[in-house]
């Protein structure tokens, strides 16, 4: 396996998680919404919101993903790639503008 192939596989690796996050959406002021992250990779995440939230494909979002058992968070920005709605619940996929480092991902997924 080449180094490039190994790197591509690492970037695409996804983790099932249950993390708290806060996000503010482009065009909706500076209000932050509480979100839950259920799936995470170095390149993106699946986010959930339990009340009606106006989101659409192509919107930009600024995120703070909270590191479990600490007061720290990982800041990132991204673009909404898909949206699903079920009742008042909204789920959406975000592709990060910058790839998270392996260290950041490990801090977010480790279980204490």
Instruction: State residue 58's pLDDT score.
Output: 95
**Residue 9 — pLDDT band, cuts 50, 70, 90?**
very low
pTM of the full structure: 0.82
Residue 24 maps to a domain:
no
The answer to whether residue 85 is domain-embedded is yes
Tally of structural domains, the chain: 1
Tell me the three state secondary structure of residue 58: coil
Mean pLDDT of 69-78: 93
Condensed to tens digits (0 to 9), the pLDDT of residues 57-66 reads 999 999 999 9
- Cβ atoms of 77 and 97 within 8 Å: the answer is yes
CA distance 75 to 97: 11
Interior angle at CA 99, CA 112 and CA 64, nearest 5? 55
User: Is 102 within the bounds of a domain?
Assistant: yes
Domain of residue 84, residue span: 29-109
- For the chain, how many residues are written? 112
pLDDT at 88: 81
* Average pLDDT, integer, range 31-55: 88
What are φ and ψ of residue 51, in 5° steps?
-130, 165
Question: At 34, which CATH number?
Answer: 2.40.10.220
Mean pLDDT for the chain overall: 86
Pairing mode of beta strands 60-66, 15-25: antiparallel
- Sign of the Cα torsion 24, 27, 31, 35 reads negative
């Amino acid at each position: 396996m080449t180094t490039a192939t190994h790197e591509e596989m690492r970037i695409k690796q996804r983790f099932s998680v249950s993390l708290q996050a806060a996000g503010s959406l482009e065009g909706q002021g500076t209000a932050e919404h509480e979100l839950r992250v259920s799936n995470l990779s170095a390149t993106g995440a699946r986010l959930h919101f339990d009340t009606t939230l106006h989101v659409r494909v192509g919107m930009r979002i600024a995120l703070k993903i909270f590191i479990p058992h600490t007061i720290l968070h990982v800041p990132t920005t991204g673009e909404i790639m898909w949206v699903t709605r079920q009742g008042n619940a909204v789920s959406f996929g975000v592709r990060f503008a910058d790839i998270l480092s392996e260290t950041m991902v490990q801090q977010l997924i480790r279980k204490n």
